[in-house]
């Protein structure tokens, strides 16, 4: 089967691409910027866009199934653009003998739809308008739960940052959210199922209000939240509010907020009928999954990455959720220092050797930790120089080690969130990063209150590591 993926750099497209790469198909992508694609991947790449019919012809030539994941929500005239784009795509797909178009749109009823949703419905109608020539499988999803999904980021950021929320009436609207992995499973399976003619498939997990979603999200995050709906708050005001507290741009927030007043629940039972093997994750599980993924992407994966083009691209584009992780990053050049010696130096951190300066501050922190029931600094370390993954270093644990390259420590002390400390030799630099994923408002306050101390301690720490390594080397000469 020869498959074309469009919107491959988008939120859904990027994940679908990973899934399709593991399938027994020939994959081609239509992208506006070919530099965004890792050249080492086994994918044919066509540069173009849906307003350039010549590029569509090249992209759709010889294709059996085409995924249509294009939309222009960020443009002010997105309604006209999206109509034209869908029309061009349908015409050329028919001309090139494509058998199936798979489109992902939004859940909802046309009569009650917001402008944004209406535009998504119109796109689906255009793509399905020639059933005698080409079959269209139209999947419809509501709020997608996943790290980086605009609607989920709104819910997560509001829940994390605001213990008490006075919200507009839309929090009582019913919706049927779904985890992003389930969406990808439906899209992937859509290329293989047998249908005759067009098919619309509504997908979602349990029915719940936005208020229940925020409270469920709080529960998954281990937070307690209070929500008071107030009917007088307007859409405009809500959009400014979202802009202030979430990483979503104003124009996107406004389009999404408009949609929040109409119900988005399944209108057919086709998901169960045609995809009985897919059982969507319950809401809270999907939230936990997305938080785990965010941590892994932003903290753990950097430890195993090879620094290829894909990674650079990921760093640049995948950071919608990045504002959730707070950082203190310091970097110094090696100036000819041996990487082996440098690695040995930062791996000697903690225990009797201390924390490369300001040890009295670490002592106070350890003492405070004990006062609130933590382990404090007492655990020390097994060996003054050697480390193993999983063992303790005072109130840290070794999470990852790559010889002569990286050390990752995860904080075990009592903190309102999750914290890591990384030392990494990258090229001719030593990079030291403290990561903090704050829990709720108190987590953020904690981080910002400690900023002056972090500035002193971390700036001094990296310098001391370099100095100590220099001294070792000189002594050896
Ligand atoms: N995300 C959600 O929460 C959600 C929920 C329900 C339904 N959906 C539906 O899922 C679909 C995909 O959404 P998404 O969130 O993945 O979108 P997205 O992240 O905004 O990505 C849109 C993609 O469209 C591409 N694109 C825009 N204009 C184009 C053009 N003229 N020609 C070729 N490509 C063009 C962009 O390419 P570049 O990379 O070159 O910019 C980008 O890859 C949409 O139909 C949306 O309604 C999404």
When the pLDDT of each residue in the chain is averaged and rounded to a whole number, the result is 86
Q: Which residues line ligand 1 (CB under 6 A)?
A: 6-7, 9-13, 31-33, 49-51, 69-73, 85, 104-106, 120, 141, 144, 149-151
Biggest CA-to-CA distance, the chain: 82
Q: How does pLDDT run across 191-229, given as a tens digit for each residue?
A: 999 998 999 999 999 999 988 998 999 999 888 888 887
**Structural contact between residues 1 and 65, judged by C-beta atoms closer than 8 angstroms:** yes
Atom index in ligand 1 nearest the CA of residue 68 equals 45
Q: How does pLDDT run across 416-450, given as a tens digit for each residue?
A: 888 999 999 998 999 999 999 888 888 888 999 99
CA–CA dist 460, 335 (Å, integer): 18
- Percent of the chain predicted with pLDDT > 70: 90
Residue nearest to atom 17 of ligand 1 (CA): 10
Q: How does pLDDT run across 220-276, given as a tens digit for each residue?
A: 988 888 888 777 667 667 777 776 676 666 666 777 777 777 888 999 999 999 999
Average pLDDT over residues 156-166: 82
Centroid of ligand 1 to alpha carbon of 217 (angstroms): 25
Q: Is the pLDDT of residue 3 over 90?
A: yes
The b/e string for 293-309 (b: 16+ C-beta within 10 A; e otherwise) is bbbebbbbebbeeeeee
Q: Which pTM does this prediction carry?
A: 0.76
**Structural contact between residues 22 and 190, judged by C-beta atoms closer than 8 angstroms:** no
CA–CA dist 451, 456 (Å, integer): 9
CA–CA dist 137, 279 (Å, integer): 19
Beta strand segments in 15-142, E: 26-31, 44-47, 65-68, 100-106, 135-141
Q: Is the pLDDT of residue 155 over 70?
A: yes
């Amino acid at each position: 089967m020869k498959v074309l993926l469009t919107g491959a750099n988008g939120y859904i497209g990027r994940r679908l691409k990973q899934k399709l790469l593991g399938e027994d198909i020939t994959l081609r992508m239509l992208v506006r910027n070919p530099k965004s694609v890792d050249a080492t991947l086994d994918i044919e790449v066509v540069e173009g866009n849906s307003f350039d019919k010549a590029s569509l012809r090249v992209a759709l030539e010889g294709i059996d199934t085409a995924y249509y994941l294009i939309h222009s929500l960020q443009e002010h005239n997105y309604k006209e653009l999206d109509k034209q784009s869908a029309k061009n795509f349908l015409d050329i797909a028919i001309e090139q003998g494509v058998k199936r178009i798979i489109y992902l749109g939004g859940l909802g009823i046309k009569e009650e739809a917001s402008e944004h949703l209406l535009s998504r419905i119109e796109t689906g109608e255009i793509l399905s308008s020639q059933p005698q020539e080409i079959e269209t499988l139209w999947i419809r999803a509501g709020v997608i739960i996943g790290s980086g999904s605009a609607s989920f980021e709104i819910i997560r950021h509001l829940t994390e940052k605001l213990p008490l929320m006075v919200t507009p009436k839309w929090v009582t609207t019913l919706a049927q959210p779904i985890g992003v992995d389930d969406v990808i499973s439906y899209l992937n399976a859509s290329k293989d199922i047998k249908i005759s003619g067009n098919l619309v498939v509504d997908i979602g997990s349990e029915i719940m209000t936005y208020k229940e979603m925020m409270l469920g999200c709080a529960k998954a995050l281990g937070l307690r939240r209070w929500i008071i709906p107030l009917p007088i708050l307007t859409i405009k005001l809500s959009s400014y509010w979202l802009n202030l507290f979430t990483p979503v741009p104003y124009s996107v927030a406004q389009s999404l907020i408009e949609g929040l007043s109409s119900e988005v629940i399944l209108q057919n039972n086709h998901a169960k009928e045609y995809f009985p093997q897919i059982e969507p994750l319950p809401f809270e599980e999907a939230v936990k999954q997305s938080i785990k993924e965010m941590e892994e992407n932003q903290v753990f994966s950097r430890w195993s990455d090879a620094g290829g083009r894909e990674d650079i691209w990921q760093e640049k584009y995948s950071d919608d959720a990045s504002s959730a992780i707070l950082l203190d990053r310091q970097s110094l050049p090696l100036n000819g220092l041996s990487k082996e010696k440098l690695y040995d130096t930062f791996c000697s951190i903690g225990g009797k050797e201390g924390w490369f300066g300001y040890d009295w501050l670490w002592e106070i922190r350890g003492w405070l930790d004990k006062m609130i029931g933590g382990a404090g600094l007492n655990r020390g370390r097994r060996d003054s120089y050697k480390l193993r993954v999983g063992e303790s270093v005072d109130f840290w644990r070794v999470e990852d080690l790559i010889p002569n390259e990286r050390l990752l420590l995860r904080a075990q002390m009592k903190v309102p969130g999750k914290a890591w400390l990384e030392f990494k030799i990258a090229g001719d630099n030593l990079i030291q990063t403290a990561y903090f994923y704050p829990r709720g408002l108190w987590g953020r306050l904690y981080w910002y209150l400690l900023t002056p101390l972090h500035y002193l301690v971390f700036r001094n720490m990296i310098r001391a590591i370099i100095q100590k390594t220099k001294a070792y080397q000189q002594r050896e000469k």
